[in-house]
Structure 1
Amino acid sequence: MSIATNESPTAPSSNVVDYLQLIGGEFRAASNGGWIDSVNPTTGQVWARVPAGNTDDIDLAVAAASAAYEDWRSTPAAQRASILRAWARSVREHADELWRLDSTDNGRARVETSPAILGGAGQIEFHAGLAETITGETVDISPTASTYSVREPFGVVGLIIPWNAPLAMFLAKVSAAVAAGNTIVVKPPERASVSVLAAARYLADAGLPPGVVNVVTGEGSAAGEALVIHPEVRKISFTGSTATGRRITEKSTSNLKVLGLELGGKSPHIVFADADLDAAAISVSAGIFTGSAGQACIAGSRILIERSIFEDFVDRLRIIASRMTLGDPLAESTDMGPIAFDTQFEKVREYVKVGSAEGATLAFGGRSGAELFDEASPLSGGYFIEPTLFVTDDNTSRICQEEIFGPVAVALAFDTEEEAVALANDSLYGLAAGVWSSDLGRVHRLIRRIRSGTVWVNTYRRLHWALPFSGQKESGNRPSNGPHALDEWLEHKSVWIEHGA
């Protein structure tokens, strides 16, 4: 494994910048004057601060969104689309600034954040086009009546977005909800809010009226919970861990909110002996040893390998991992950045210990933090964990069943197609899966039998806004993306007009 030491991370600790919330078209500090430090995970140093918003800030933001709603829902779809397209242009114009902030804030390497910003602009434009396609249906029920349906926005909706890809999720979710005519309160992740607050600055320039989109930063236990239980928020869309999704579900029962949940995963990546093993090894590695250090809900963290090629394939993964470059996420040469923040770093390190304690064999990796860098390196205080692979035959173990959310994978051998399917489905999660095989019949059988919202065949981690994305089992309950992406943000209303014979 290569360690980058010649790149000096930007945003030194002596240059701490304050970013502000967006409420009712104004940028402002928290009502209580509190701040949250944003730590650069590459160095472990504070580089920015965001407001520690709480219930008072959420109340102000919801009030602003409520006040803006009637005018916004009445805005013609073509005008909403025009505003979104202007926002997309602005995102492209400021893409270099935005990806740098995103990478500095959560450590995700530029190899992922830079294209994600441009992809986000494309997704905004896609949703702008869908805004002009919202229709209902005419239903022929009675000769004496006109009966039809219309689709309407929910009203004020709350978005709680994750720390592993905050800006990409902000661009995608906000543009879809706004295109459908909703007004919004966004609660970004408290440890990675900066890029979201920066992107929000360009909404007014695009012509979005004040109050349509509001951004309140703060801890989940304060700002997040206040948003979930607020009586004027009709719907909550949450992307994050399954555990947090359960807590949101419990909190929302007091006023029966509509919930859209995109949750965790423990995705199987299945490799058969008849696959293109060179291509498979590259893709399997990239599916877990990512620019975001495996911090992706779709990470292929359970690698299922046909027994006849098991040792050979593990060796291929070891060679690829040894050639990866860990370092400053702003550098072009970096393949994998650090873990996003300290407590997640410690959590992943603990799972490495758990794997060994459970009797799994450490095939490679396992080192972290200062073990990876010279003491004089500016990266020695960063939250780095090297690509790590365990080998086990116990799919019931914690490292096989629990979402680690880091660059730690586990490899298991299988003998038959039937066993591969059983191992793949032996999980609470059902977000994604990968299959590598040249047998077309086998591929189609597995596509139908694997319980996951996405199945990639002879590729992995390929996403596009024109294709639906959803989870099964405990990985979520509402699809996003695709030609019906706005359905998540619209309610149905039936109309019956009796007019006689």
Structure 2
Amino acid sequence: MSGSSHAAAYLETGALPELPDRHFIAGEWTTPAAGGRMETFDAGFGRAFHSVAAGTAEDVDRAVMAAHAAQNGWGRTKASARGAALMRAATLLREEAARFAFVEALDSGKPLQEAEGDVAGAARAFEYYAGAADKIEGETFPIGDDYLGYSRPEPVGVTAHIIPWNYPLSTAARGLAPALAAGCTVVAKPAETTPLTMLMLADLLTRAGLPAGVVNVVTGTGPEAGAPLVGHPKVRHVTFTGSVPTGQGVMQAAARNVASVVLELGGKSPLIVLTDADLDAAADGVVGAIYENAGQICSAGSRLIVERPVHDALLERVLARVHALKMGHGLRRSTLGPLNSAPHRAGVAQRVDEAIARGLPPLTGGSATVDPETGEGWFFEATIFDDVPADDPLVTDEIFGPVLAVQIADGADDAAALANGTDYALVAGIYTADFGLAHRLARDIDAGQVFINEYFAGGIEVPFGGNRQSGFGREKGLAAVQNYLRIKSVAAKIG
């Protein structure tokens, strides 16, 4: 059945395919030790549609110990065999893409076509790191003819992965695939509001040939399941995507066990449009950068920095595109879906209401709303604030919703200064016809990744991560494999 067929059946009858509802530990579906349950919600209707296990420290310990028991076997599996298993996972994910996309859209709220893109990207991640598995090599050291010096890259051991709710499947894939390619075992804790595709992925990886215990999933809340996982003494590395305060707590917990950490945290990313830019292409980029997934993207282009001479012409184009967005349930292939939860929508609304109270009226939008077709769901209007002061919270604070703050620049140097004017440094976008200037700006802007003339350009091959309050470490690309390796050096006298 296609994703659209699943969607049509669900919207008409409420019918769902069989969905996982327990932990996945040591290759088996496992009942939670304390018997707890928690609901997962359809954000487009604002109602629960399924429930899953609510894990505790006991469940986490069972999962970590299963991963620990499987570590030696998987770490010493021939690299080409690990790669072959990941390649089979990519094939299976493409074969089952319709079901994964349907569940991802339903659980997260995002439009179905965006979820389909996420599934394709996840399959590509497993394919990419399948090819990397047998390219992990050591080095030799020139320490004299009477000595042999070499290095052995080894898996770090059990890895913990804390998966966010905005991109559950694709974020899981970009962390799990390099960890598995490097020979590490995995315990994943998906976000409590989006647990399903991570559970489905663990089952798929086992069917692709990964031995029992290599990939384990415990569902539950951050305090009850996430905290015991990142603080477990057998966990040797934590990959975390989420908020700055939670990331700081993760780093502190990992430090107690001297475990390594990759943190991908918040963003308030600038999209710069200079006077010579193609304004139609730039307007398309602006709208995609902030309204994809209803702005719930750490790397969203939530700040538009536009040179003064083209401000009015660009805003006219952006507004026309915003007014053409189709709000609605993600399974109806809308172009502006709901926010993921009622509390999150309330938080976005509070930030917008506070801005209005400060005397900043929105150019468009500004209100919580519902699906115009059903009168239900956790929606928020596509919102734009124009000519926002550089020190206003709309510019400095991450909102994580469909809210764009426009800043006006007087020249490229001013644009770069505005771009660097927050505590975040995740990504940046630049639209200009002057390629030399684009690369000078890319040099001068503090960001982990810079897009030129296409926001969200790149793919799994391009390292991704932030600086300053946006975190540290890099995911994606071959750089990600290094997160999951430790280097052992050997020096031997042979003469």
TM-score w.r.t. the length of structure 1 is: 0.94
SS in 2 for 1:469: coil
Q: CA deviation at 1:272?
A: 1.0
In structure 1, what is the equivalent of residue 3 of structure 2?
Answer: none
- Out of 40, 46, 53, the position equivalent to 1:51 is 53
In structure 2, what is the equivalent of residue 386 of structure 1?
Answer: 381
AA of the residue aligned to 2:177: S
> Identity of aligned pairs, percent?
36
Paired with 1:465 and 1:71, the residues of 2 have a C-alpha distance of: 28
AA of the residue aligned to 2:481: L
- 2:160 touches 2:238 (CA, 8 Å); kept in 1? yes
In structure 1, what is the equivalent of residue 318 of structure 2?
Answer: 317
- Out of 473, 489, 494, the position equivalent to 2:489 is 494
Which of 293-302 and 437-446 deviates more? 437-446
Q: Deviations over 1:73-95 (max 9, x none)?
A: 11101111111111111111110
SS in 1 for 2:306: strand
Paired with 1:401 and 1:450, the residues of 2 have a C-alpha distance of: 16
AA of the residue aligned to 2:248: R
SS in 2 for 1:91: helix
Q: Deviations over 1:195-233 (max 9, x none)?
A: 111222212211111000000000001110001110010
1:483 to 1:258, Cα distance in 2 relative to 1, 3 A = closer
SS in 1 for 2:83: helix
Gaps of 5+ in 2: 1-6
- Out of 451, 461, 466, the position equivalent to 2:446 is 451
Paired with 2:133 and 2:408, the residues of 1 have a C-alpha distance of: 48
SS in 1 for 2:483: helix
In structure 2, what is the equivalent of residue 330 of structure 1?
Answer: 331
In structure 2, what is the equivalent of residue 352 of structure 1?
Answer: 352
Q: How does 1:302-451 map to 2 (within 5 A)?
A: 302-332=303-333, 334-370=334-370, 373=372, 377-378=373-374, 380-451=375-446
AA of the residue aligned to 2:322: A
Which of 166-175 and 212-221 deviates more? 166-175
- Structure 1 segments, 4+ long, off by >4 Å, are 6-9, 11-18
- 1:13 touches 1:46 (CA, 8 Å); kept in 2? no
- 2:388 touches 2:405 (CA, 8 Å); kept in 1? no
Paired with 1:138 and 1:8, the residues of 2 have a C-alpha distance of: 60
Q: Deviations over 1:277-328 (max 9, x none)?
A: 11111111110011x1010111000101111121222222111100000112
Q: How does 1:26-37 map to 2 (within 5 A)?
A: 26-37=28-39
Paired with 2:12 and 2:64, the residues of 1 have a C-alpha distance of: 33
Paired with 1:330 and 1:247, the residues of 2 have a C-alpha distance of: 36
- 1:12 touches 1:47 (CA, 8 Å); kept in 2? no
- Out of 180, 185, 190, the position equivalent to 1:183 is 185
In structure 2, what is the equivalent of residue 474 of structure 1?
Answer: 469
Once superposed, what is the RMSD of the aligned Cα atoms? 1.8
Paired with 1:61 and 1:239, the residues of 2 have a C-alpha distance of: 20
- 2:20 touches 2:199 (CA, 8 Å); kept in 1? no
Which of 463-472 and 422-431 deviates more? 463-472
1:477 to 1:359, Cα distance in 2 relative to 1, 3 A = same
TM-score w.r.t. the length of structure 2 is: 0.95
In structure 2, what is the equivalent of residue 106 of structure 1?
Answer: 108
In structure 1, what is the equivalent of residue 130 of structure 2?
Answer: 128
AA of the residue aligned to 2:327: L
In structure 1, what is the equivalent of residue 294 of structure 2?
Answer: 293
Paired with 2:299 and 2:167, the residues of 1 have a C-alpha distance of: 12
- 2:385 touches 2:405 (CA, 8 Å); kept in 1? yes
Which of 141-150 and 32-41 deviates more? 141-150
Answer yes or no: is 1:227 the counterpart of 2:233: no
AA of the residue aligned to 1:491: R
